[in-house]
Each structure stands twice: as C-alpha cells, then as structure tokens.
Amino acid sequence: MPKISEEKKKQRQLDILKTALRLFSQKGYYAASIDDITREAGISKGLIYTYFKSKEEIFLELAQRWDELTNNTSFADTLDRVLSDDMSVTEQLMCVWDATVSQWTEENLNFARIKFEFWLEASKNEALREKMKEKAMSSLRIVEDIIFKTRPDMDPAVAAAFSRLWWSQIDGLAAYFVSYRLLPPESEMARIRDIIRHMCGYLEAR
Amino acid sequence: MPKISEEKKKQRQLDILKTALRLFSQKGYYAASIDDITREAGISKGLIYTYFKSKEEIFLELAQRWDELTNNTSFADTLDRVLSDDMSVTEQLMCVWDATVSQWTEENLNFARIKFEFWLEASKNEALREKMKEKAMSSLRIVEDIIFKTRPDMDPAVAAAFSRLWWSQIDGLAAYFVSYRLLPPESEMARIRDIIRHMCGYLEAR
Amino acid sequence: MPKISEEKKKQRQLDILKTALRLFSQKGYYAASIDDITREAGISKGLIYTYFKSKEEIFLELAQRWDELTNNTSFADTLDRVLSDDMSVTEQLMCVWDATVSQWTEENLNFARIKFEFWLEASKNEALREKMKEKAMSSLRIVEDIIFKTRPDMDPAVAAAFSRLWWSQIDGLAAYFVSYRLLPPESEMARIRDIIRHMCGYLEAR
Amino acid sequence: MPKISEEKKKQRQLDILKTALRLFSQKGYYAASIDDITREAGISKGLIYTYFKSKEEIFLELAQRWDELTNNTSFADTLDRVLSDDMSVTEQLMCVWDATVSQWTEENLNFARIKFEFWLEASKNEALREKMKEKAMSSLRIVEDIIFKTRPDMDPAVAAAFSRLWWSQIDGLAAYFVSYRLLPPESEMARIRDIIRHMCGYLEAR
DNA sequence: TATGAATGAGAATTCATTCAT
DNA sequence: AATGAATGAATTCTCATTCAT
C-alpha cells in the first residue's frame, strides 16, 4: 500500500510535467537539466525517478498530455459553442482560425517552442511519431468534420488535403513567430486572415 | 606558403560541414558529437578545430551556408528560367510552388530536419536569429517581386502578408513530412496544389 | 534535511583540499589533474564539483586556508606563549625566528613548494594577489607589533621596512631549501641565526 | 653538411630562447604555448623541434643560459669596476647591493617571474636542480670572495652562511615585488639598504 | 631546411541516473 | 517516500609533437 494516495501522486506528476514544460520551453530539452526541473518543482533530485523513469520519458509524456498541460482541452468545446449549423464552411473555418490565433499569447508561443522539439524527436522516434500522428489526426478531423457537415458530398481526399494545408499554415506561421520571437502584428494577421478566408472559398465552389 | 592550398582547405571545410549537416540531420545537434563528426569525416578529433573554432560555429555556419550545402543555390536560377512576364501571378506562383516541391526528395527532407533546429536555436540566439531573418527576407522577396511585377499597384502590406503565409504553409508542410518521415504522396500534393492555386486567386482579384 | 551533516561535508572538503595540497606540492598545480586528486582522495571524478566549482577554486581555497591546512594556525599562539614584555626586541624577534624555523620540517618544506605557485599565480591573478597581500600584512604586523611594543617611538616606515626584509629573508631561505630539496643544516642555520640576531641590533640602536 | 651555418643556427636558437623567455615571463610556462613562441619568434611550428627537442628542453636551456639571456653577464664586470681593495667589506657589499637593486627594472622583475618557475621545477627535476645549484654557487662566491678579500681569516662557514642569507634576502625581496607587481618604492628600499648595511657590520666585528 | 596540417592523448567539466540512508 | 550525495560515462576543447610535402 503506497504511503501517498494515488491522487497525490497524479498531482505531483502533473506538477513535474508542468515545470518541465515551462523549462523545456524556456531553455530547450537539452539545456534544461533534471536539476533545474526538480529544483523548480520543489522536490529532490532523486524523487523525480519515482514518477518518471528518465528524462526522455518526461519529454514523451509532455507530448502525450500536451493538450491537458497547455489548457488546450477546451479548444473543441470552444468550437462547439461558436459553431452553428447555419454558418457557411468559410464562416465556420474562420471561427476555427480565430479560436486558434486567439491562443497565440506570448506564453503559448513559448510553449510552441517545445512542439518543434516534438517534431524533431518524432523524426527519430517512432513511438513519439505515432503519438504525434494521432494528435494531428484529431486536429485534421476538426476541419474535416466542418467540411463534411456543410458539404456532405465533398471528396474525402480533398477534405483531407485541405485540412492538412490548413494546419500546416497555422504551424508554419506559429513557427515563424516563435523562432523570430515576435508576436504576430495584428494588422498582418488581419491580412493573412483575409487570404485564408479567400482560400476557404475553394470549398464553397465545389 | 601554406602546406595545402586555399582551395583544398575550403574543400575540407566543406567536407566537415557536409558531414556535420548529415549527422545533425540524423541525430540532432546535441546528440551528434564532435567525435562523431570527425570520425565520419575521416579526420582526427583535433583537426576540426583548425577549421571551426567550436561546435556552435559549425552549426551557425551550416545555417549561413544552407543553400550552398543543400544544392539549393540553383533555386533562383530555376525560377529565372521558368518565369516569364506573360504569365499571370497565379501561373508564376505555381512555378515557385513546383520548383519548391520538386526539391522535396527523401534526402532533402532529411536535411530539412536541421532547419527546425535552426528555428529552435534562433529563438534563443540573437545572432542566429538575424541570419535566419535575412534568409527569410530573401525568400519573401521572391514572392513579393512576382506580385509587384504583375500587379504593380498591390498594397505592399498585402503582398507581405501573402508572402509570409506562402512560405509558412510551405515550411509547415515540410515540417509535417519531415516529422512524420513520409514523402508527400503525389495525389495529396496535387490536391494541395489545387487549393494553393485557388488561394492565388486572391491576388488576381485585387 | 541533508543526507550528510554539515560537519561531514566540511570534513570531506578538507580531505579534498589536503589531497590537492599534497598533489599540487608534489607535481605542481598544472601537472596534478582533477583525476589525480579525486583518485587519491578516493572519490569519483564528478563529486569534486559538488565541493568546489573548479580546479582554480581549489587552488584559491588552498591559498586562503593555507594556515589551517598546514597546521600553521598555532603560530600566533606559540608566539603569545613565548613572548614576554621584559624581553628585548632582539630576544623577541629571535623567538619569532625560532618558531618559524622549527616549522621547517621535511613535510612543511614540501608544502612550501605550493607557496611559490601562489606567488607565481598572484602575479597574474588580482583576486589571489589581494588574498596573499592580506596574509602578508598579518605577518608583517607580527614583527611591527613587537617593534612598537618595545620601541613605541620607532619610525613606522623603518618598522615597515624591517618587517618586509624580515619575511623576505625567511621566504628567500625557505625557497632555497625547497628548491634544492635539502633541509637546512643545523650548523648553517645557527650561523644565519647569529647574523639575524646582529641585524636586530639595528632596532636596538634607534 | 648543414644547409645553414652553425652560426646562424646558434643565432636562431638564441632568438627562440629570448622569445620563450619573454613569453614564459609574461604568461608562465604552462600558459605560453609552442604556438605562441613560434608565432612570436617568426618561425613555423615544426621548425622549433629542429632546435629543441621539446618544450621542456627550452625551459631547461633558459635556466642554463639565464645570465646570457638576461644580459646579466656584465654583473661581475660591473662589480670588478666598482670594487676596489681599499673599501671596507660593508662598502663593497653595498656596491653589490646597489648593483643588484639597480637591475630591478619593470622588465627584469618580469623575468624574475620565470626564476620562480625554475625553483619550482628544480624541486622536481634533479638535472635542473644541479644546474641551479651551480649558478647559485657562483653568486655565493661573489660575496664570499669579497669577504675573504678583506677578512682573509674569516671562518669559511660564517662566510658561507652570510652569503646564503644575503642572496636569500635579495631573492625574497624580488619575489615579493614580482608577486605583488609593484616596483620597490625607493624610500622603502633606502631603509632596507640601511638595515642591510647594519647587518654587514656583523662581518666587520669579527 | 622549413612548413603548417594533422594527430591523439589528455584535460576540465557536466549531468542523467543510482543508491545508501 | 524522500533525500541529495555519489557515480562515471561522455562531452568539448587544447596542445605538444609528428610528418608528408
């Protein structure tokens, strides 16, 4: 029988993950040491190994529980709230766009940094790659669902291609802003939004 | 009188950079050690320091000479050849698209991995960031030039936003393919191309 | 609650310093490696860095805690015991002389070797230089105090010059014996003592 | 048959030694690299090994040819010029003192730094130790000669002790000034000279 | 002779992980 | 469960020396 409750353990695990998330985001995976993490999490260096079996496992766990850790869980909920069936594909997609972009605060862009590290690692690590794919799928599905809801007869391959491009644009833009350490200027974002809206017209036409 | 000619020296420097490029691409900057690089380059451990003063310098040099090392120098030339003034904006941009996508061979996608590391590092390293910005600028300018050539009165801010989005989606797609280690299926690329073509219509309308 | 007590920690730090002192004395600061020190101290290579942040810090700490490490702490005490107010300047100074020379055991002369390294390093390192100056000052003051106690009206500049010469000759002699690896022959020391005694007469005359 | 004359070779060897002397004095034996020496001496790195078989040999050669390299050869000559038979021991010794102290220019004190390194090395290296002893002997003899010239019946052991103390004082003072990087203040040196003069009285009395 | 590129042993230091308490 | 001291493999980098030209 464990000395601390299962619940406490979960909580502590979460604490460690959040600290790791913050430090990995700030310094990068290699530069942030186990020492840093335990110090910042307020636990002893040895203890972290009862919660995770290695530094890498922490990293993988972060990738796994990304949404939970970045409070991104509500994204789908938000969409549920704002989307309604009488909106056009374009209108609905612009809601997705706005919901996404509204998350690009300084803090979140910082977090985004670690997403690159996931990508990097994924290219070398099959287990991680599978996890990331799964997550990507569920994002793709958001867009596909919207498309099929309004255009039930859309060619699935087209919907898939559109979704892929959609998130690629978003990730590409995020990458740019993270890398260059600048928050997207509102005016530029407005113009980009305009182009995206035009792009959505592609779906309307079919 | 130097023992080896300036040319040989340049060549060896290039060899080292290429080896580093390959290893950094395979294992990542941190995981690839100086030992690895020298062993693979067939030189002694110490010699690398006559060519570069630190591991970091090699990394920065890679960022700097990226185009040369990935045989990407011809990109502008290719464009010069295929673009002609009597093409529409869309047609010209699709040439850029095709030239870009035709580069996505297995080998190049592998190299692209390191581009992520540049992005990551850039967010922490101002010198690198500036270099990267410069490179990004020249890419942006390619698209902007095309826009202005055909639509001289285009709002510069719109052209800038379009260019930004353009390369972001390309980088985002590349990231996806690198990370998931799959070459873009031709059919999907064809559909994405179609959407992109539609997006270009945004510029025609103005 | 620390795993080992503060006291044990101090003890280990002292062990390391003593080992370093011995090795630096035998081989010199540069020739004695961290590997040597840890091996001889019976600890792992990494551990030394929990006690000292660099090899240089060990060296500086040795300079700082020289008296403690060479059991030289009792020097002032010894003097307190043997000096009494009814002795002449000369008699008192000869007590200082005897107390100093009685320390010149084989072991201590070996340690003295490292003092040269302090001197050498001091000429290049200001922080060390300041520490050494401080130590030198307190030695100078021993002789000055004796002079002023018996000759309150002595010109301070003369007292200072005498003190400087006093310790210079002692250091010079020590250097000689260390360098030539010979303990001072008693008969020669007796004759030198005689000359020194005569030199003290300089102070009596004033 | 050598391609360059024996003379040229000697000259080049001397150049190297002088450069080494300067660099070792400035930076210390360990900090001054073969690279530094050859660069400053204007020869290629490899060539130095045709003149000396190792870095250590250069060091030992410096110790050997110290007087020649520091233009100290003239010291005996100077003394010959200033000393005359009708001076008292004290007067003659003060000439030695003045001749010695007048050499303590900034540059020479810098050279003195390397003398410490000889001392240090001598304590570990028997060959060097013997060379140093020999040199020390000839210094001792200068003082002894003066003593015997004026006091032919002086107890040789006393003369030896006096000489030893004499040079110890001088080396000790030099050490102090080198280590603390200060040129001896004239006023203090005058006072020390006064004490030394008094000390010489020891010899007169016998 | 002369060059300087090349070598490789060895240095200091870091850090994920283990383990005695 | 919790601590943090201890480990040691691995890393980057230096530099005296060698050697092909």
Q: Is the pLDDT of residue C20 over 80?
A: yes
Per-residue pLDDT of B167-188, as tens digits, reads 999 999 999 999 988 888 999 9
As a whole number, mean pLDDT of residues A129-147 equals: 93
Is C8 at the interface with chain D, CB within 8 A?
Answer: no
Is B116 at the interface with chain A, CB within 8 A?
Answer: yes
Which pLDDT belongs to residue D206? 60
Dist. CA D68–CA D18, nearest whole Å: 10
Which pLDDT belongs to residue A3? 58
CA distances from D165 to C201, D26, D127, D130, D172 (A): 17, 29, 24, 20, 10
Residue type, position B122, single letter: A
Residue type, position C23, single letter: L
SS3 for B44?
coil
Nucleotide showing the shortest C1' distance to residue C42 CA: F6
SS3 for D160?
helix
- Nearest chain D Cα distance for residue C136, angstroms: 10
Q: Considering CB atoms only, which of B123, B161, B162 is closest to A178? A: B123
CA B45 – C1' F19 distance (Å)?
A: 17
Dist. CA C68–CA A194, nearest whole Å: 77
DSSP C31-77: TS-HHHHHHHHTS-TTTHHHH-SSHHHHHHHHHHTHHHHTT-THHHH
Per-residue pLDDT of B89-106, as tens digits, reads 999 999 999 999 998 988
User: Which helix (H) or strand (E) covers residue B186, if one does?
Assistant: helix B186-205
Surface of C (54-83) touching D: CB under 8 A:
none
Do chain D and A touch: 3 or more Cβ pairs under 8 angstroms?
A: no
Residues of chain C in contact with residue D201, where contact means CB-CB under 8 angstroms, are 198, 201
Residue nearest to nucleotide E14 (CA to C1'): C46
Contact C175, D172 (CB under 8 A): yes
Contact D40, D19 (CB under 8 A): yes
Asked if residue A31 keeps its beta carbon closer than 7 A to nucleic acid strand F, the reply is: no
Contact A114, B116 (CB under 8 A): no
SS3 for B139?
helix
**Within 13 Å of residue C28, how many CA atoms lie on the same side as its CB?**
20
Q: Is the pLDDT of residue B50 over 80?
A: yes
The total of other beta-carbon atoms located within 10 Å of residue A79's CB is 17
Contact A52, A61 (CB under 8 A): yes
Which pLDDT belongs to residue A98? 95
| Burial environment of residue D53 by CB neighbours within 10 A (0 to 12, 13 to 18, 19 or more) | exposed
Contact D163, D83 (CB under 8 A): no
Which pLDDT belongs to residue A1? 42
Q: Is the pLDDT of residue B161 over 60?
A: yes
Q: Is the pLDDT of residue D183 over 60?
A: yes
Q: Is the pLDDT of residue C102 over 80?
A: yes
Phi and psi, residue D43, nearest 5°: -125, 170
CA A56 – C1' E19 distance (Å)?
A: 21
Q: Is the pLDDT of residue A77 over 90?
A: no
Which pLDDT belongs to residue D1? 42
Per-residue pLDDT of A32-42, as tens digits, reads 999 999 999 99
As a whole number, mean pLDDT of residues A1-18 equals: 83
Which pLDDT belongs to residue C2? 52
Dist. CA B55–CA B59, nearest whole Å: 7
Q: Considering CB atoms only, which of C122, C170, C192 is closest to D164? A: C192
As a whole number, mean pLDDT of residues A157-171 equals: 97
Asked if residue D45 keeps its beta carbon closer than 7 A to nucleic acid strand F, the reply is: yes
Q: Considering CB atoms only, which of B173, B194, B198 is closest to A168? A: B173
Give the pLDDT band (50/70/90) at residue C85.
confident
Is D105 at the interface with chain C, CB within 8 A?
Answer: no
Per-residue pLDDT of B112-150, as tens digits, reads 889 889 999 998 888 899 989 999 999 999 999 999 999
CA distances from A7 to A60, A134, D46, D52 (A): 21, 27, 70, 74
Per-residue pLDDT of C159-169, as tens digits, reads 999 999 999 99
Find tokens 């043997």 and name the residue: C82
Dist. CA B96–CA B76, nearest whole Å: 9
Do the chains contact at B179 and A113, CB–CB below 8 Å? no
Q: Is the pLDDT of residue C184 over 90?
A: no
As a whole number, mean pLDDT of residues C4-26 equals: 92
Q: Length of chain B, please?
A: 206
Which pLDDT belongs to residue C108? 86
Which pLDDT belongs to residue C6? 84
As a whole number, mean pLDDT of residues B61-71 equals: 90
DSSP annotation of D184: P
- Nearest chain C Cα distance for residue D125, angstroms: 10
As a whole number, mean pLDDT of residues C125-143 equals: 91
Q: By mean pLDDT, which of A81-85, C1-5, D99-103 is the weakest? A: C1-5
> Mean pLDDT across chain D, nearest whole number?
92
**Chains near D (3 or more Cβ pairs under 8 Å):** C
Q: Give strand E nucleotides closer than 7 A to any protein Cβ.
A: 1-21
Report the 3 state secondary structure along chain A: CCCCCHHHHHHHHHHHHHHHHHHHHHHCCCCCCHHHHHHHHCCCCCCHHHHCCCHHHHHHHHHHCHHHHCCCCHHHHHHHHHCCCCCCHHHHHHHHHHHHHCCCCHHHHHHHHHHHHHHHHHCCCHHHHHHHHHHHHHHHHHHHHHHHHHCCCCCHHHHHHHHHHHHHHHHHHHHHHHHCCCCCCHHHHHHHHHHHHHHHHHHHHC
Residues of chain A in contact with residue B195, where contact means CB-CB under 8 angstroms, are 161-162, 165, 199, 202
Q: Is the pLDDT of residue C25 over 80?
A: yes
Which pLDDT belongs to residue A74? 79
Find tokens 């005016």 and name the residue: A187
Dist. CA A21–CA A70, nearest whole Å: 9
Q: How many CB pairs under 8 A join A and B?
A: 150
**Chains near C (3 or more Cβ pairs under 8 Å):** D
As a whole number, mean pLDDT of residues A55-78 equals: 89
Contacts of B84 (CB under 8 A, 6+ apart): none
Dist. CA D89–CA D200, nearest whole Å: 7
As a whole number, mean pLDDT of residues A48-72 equals: 93
Nucleotide showing the shortest C1' distance to residue A50 CA: F1
Contact C51, C12 (CB under 8 A): yes
Residues in C 143-172 whose C-beta is less than 7 A from nucleic strand F are: none
As a whole number, mean pLDDT of residues D184-194 equals: 95
Closest CA to A27 of B128, B114, B124, B32: B124
Do the chains contact at B173 and A165, CB–CB below 8 Å? yes
Dist. CA C190–CA C202, nearest whole Å: 20
DSSP annotation of D106: H
Q: Which two tokens stand for residue C155?
A: 């010109």
Which pLDDT belongs to residue B3? 64
Per-residue pLDDT of D136-174, as tens digits, reads 999 999 999 999 999 999 999 999 999 999 999 999 999
As a whole number, mean pLDDT of residues C71-83 equals: 83
Which pLDDT belongs to residue C75? 83
Residues of chain A in contact with residue B205, where contact means CB-CB under 8 angstroms, are 198
Contact D181, D175 (CB under 8 A): no
The total of other beta-carbon atoms located within 10 Å of residue A15's CB is 15
Dist. CA A132–CA A126, nearest whole Å: 10
Dist. CA A158–CA A104, nearest whole Å: 28
Q: By mean pLDDT, which of A93-107, C171-185, D69-83, D95-109 is the weakest? A: D69-83
Q: Is the pLDDT of residue C1 over 80?
A: no
CA B124 – C1' E16 distance (Å)?
A: 24
